[in-house]
């Protein structure tokens, strides 16, 4: 089964962190799975050239233009990123990104020949109200464009209430939700949906990674806080081997 781990550094990381990154990358010269770090855009161009793939955390939907402070997919690819995360809950919350905007960003990334890691997930209120599957169904329908396939997209299930909180769904809940995501993708995309990688994200750490990574329909993880330090991230990566 295809396997992948993605570390999302969020708004963390400066030159001072590069030595530790290259030290980490040297330990993973030929990983048995796809291993990626998504640093802030300022570091992308300085972190390429190892076995660790480099992704971006967001892109603008347009190729260029009057969008001060934004970065296009083409620019991220030019800097050396092969992938871009879209639809992260922090973007949806902090920047009011809608499913339609996530779909537009996905198309922009594909036009720049980048691969997408598209995040979906319910809030705590939606979880408590039993709306998780309805929320995910809508997010998938509206944010995944036609043409999605395993070579251009990975879906990351990230319950918003599990991100950075230390809380996680039960293993059964993760398995059930991933089975639902798989069924929904297969219903729409057929064989292509059956092959799309699915990642779990939300408070993955060394102590729970192995149990999560062996669940059916879990191809690996999207890791935030625990990807920042080599000492925390290495055991999580080892859990996937």
Piece in contact with ligand PEP (CB under 6 A), picked from 43-51, 66-74, 188-196, 224-232: 224-232
- CB nearer ligand PEP, residue 186 or residue 206: 206
Q: Respond yes or no: is residue 19 known to be catalytic.
A: no
Contact residue for ligand PEP among 52, 222, 237, 240 (CB under 6 A): 222
Q: Respond yes or no: is residue 88 known to be catalytic.
A: yes
**Is 224 marked as a binding-site residue?**
yes
Residue 224 makes contact with ligand PEP by CB under 6 A: yes
**Could you say which of 60, 88, 90, 178 is catalytic?**
88
Contacts of 190 (CB under 8 A, 6+ apart): none
Piece in contact with ligand PEP (CB under 6 A), picked from 19-27, 106-114, 208-216, 220-228: 220-228
Q: How far is the CB of 47 from ligand PEP (least distance, A)?
A: 18
Restricted to residues 141-160, the positions that interact with ligand PEP (CB under 6 A) are 158
8-47 footprint of ligand PEP as x/- string (CB under 6 A)? x-x-------------------------------------
Contacts of 124 (CB under 8 A, 6+ apart): 160, 161
Provide the binding-site residues for ligand PEP, judged by CB under 6 A: 8, 10, 158, 163-164, 201-204, 222-226
């Amino acid at each position: 089964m295809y396997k992948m781990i993605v570390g999302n550094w969020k708004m963390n990381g400066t030159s001072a962190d590069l030595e530790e990154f290259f030290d980490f990358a040297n330990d993973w010269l030929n990983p048995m799975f796809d291993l990626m770090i998504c640093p802030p855009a300022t570091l992308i161009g300085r972190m390429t050239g190892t076995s660790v793939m480099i992704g971006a955390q967001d892109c603008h939907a347009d190729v260029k233009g009057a969008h001060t402070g934004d970065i296009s997919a083409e620019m991220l690819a030019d800097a050396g990123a092969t992938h871009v995360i879209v639809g992260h809950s922090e973007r949806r919350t902090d920047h009011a990104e809608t499913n339609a905007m996530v779909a537009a960003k996905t198309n922009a990334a594909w036009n720049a020949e980048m691969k997408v890691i598209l995040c979906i997930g319910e809030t705590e209120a939606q979880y408590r109200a039993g709306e998780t599957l309805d929320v995910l169904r809508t997010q998938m329908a509206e944010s995944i464009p036609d043409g999605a396939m395993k070579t251009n997209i990975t879906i990351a299930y990230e319950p918003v209430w599990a991100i950075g909180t230390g809380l996680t769904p039960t293993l059964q809940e993760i398995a059930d939700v991933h089975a639902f995501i798989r069924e929904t993708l297969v219903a729409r995309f057929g064989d292509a949906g059956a092959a799309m990688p699915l990642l779990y994200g939300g408070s993955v750490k060394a102590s729970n990674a192995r149990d999560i990574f062996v669940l059916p329909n879990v191809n690996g993880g999207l890791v935030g806080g625990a990807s920042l330090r080599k000492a925390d991230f290495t055991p999580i990566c080892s859990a996937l081997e």
